[in-house]
Amino acid sequence: MIIGRRRPIRIGLSARIFHPEQGASGIRAKTLQVLERSIAEWVMARGVMVLMVPSVLQDSALMRSHIRLRDYAEYLDGLVLQGGADVSPGAYGEEPLRPEWSGDAVRDAYELELLHEFMEAGKPVLGICRGMQLINVALGGSLYQDLPSQLPGQVAHEGGAFDRNIHEVRFTEGGQLSRWAGGIAGGKVVSIHHQGIRRFGRDLVPEAVAEDEVVEAIRWKGRSFVFGVQWHPEFHQQPGIELLDCMPLLEAFLSAAKP
């Protein structure tokens, strides 16, 4: 045992959920809960401990204890909501305009409870892409189900280039994001989304927008650190491409998470 050594910050990452594929066999016939390596490595870049938080199903055949999501919120120092599937329109009182925009209601229920527990515990939360949208919905906001058809603009928020789909964002003058970044006006970000914020949730304010005014970052004005970005900071270390330095954002989050 090393006397006097401070324990590492413990950050929880929400799980991406992959449901069994119809007619599949083997691993694809199972429910998978995973984390994307790039987001884990980005968070770990400052020497913190990262743990994936699995969904806790009380009726699971594998349930062997009474561990709840609340227990994770008490044990961990902060939460990152990673990207992935669409948020279900049912989560904000709408029907999907097209079947492929139905989202993942199972993951929504899990992450909404997880977010609630961390906010109740006063622990910091950082939402990435879908995670930002989920924060907005959790606080009573709504989303555009599909930006290209509902809010046509000049900015391509997703494309075939995937993690090389890039556009500019502009920081809110005097906002936290601008201060963390040393007062710069904005920068280029990796964008992989077709949904976006339509109506703001309670006590949420914009921290950045794209050139077409689509909201790209949000901050909660409540008692704890709750922040979301629509872009993917985990994909910002690309050789030959000048992208926004997202380390000040990570450091602000981890500073709020220090035990």
DSSP code of 61?
A: T
Could you tell me the two tokens for 248? 């000040």
Please tell me the distance from the alpha carbon of residue 241 to that of residue 223, in angstroms, as a whole number: 37
* Options 111, 117, 129, 246, the catalytic residue: 129
* Options 157, 167, 193, 232, the catalytic residue: 232
By three-state DSSP, how is residue 187 classified?
strand
251 in catalytic set: no
DSSP tally for the chain: helices H, then strands E: 7, 13
Q: Please state, in angstroms and as integers, the Cα–Cα distance from residue 163 to each residue in 43, 92, 149, following that order.
A: 18, 28, 22
246 in catalytic set: no
Q: What residues pair up with 16 in beta bridges, in sequence order?
A: 34
Q: What residues pair up with 171 in beta bridges, in sequence order?
A: 208
Please tell me the distance from the alpha carbon of residue 40 to that of residue 18, in angstroms, as a whole number: 18
111 in catalytic set: no
* Options 111, 117, 216, 234, the catalytic residue: 234
**Residues belonging to the active site:** 129, 232, 234
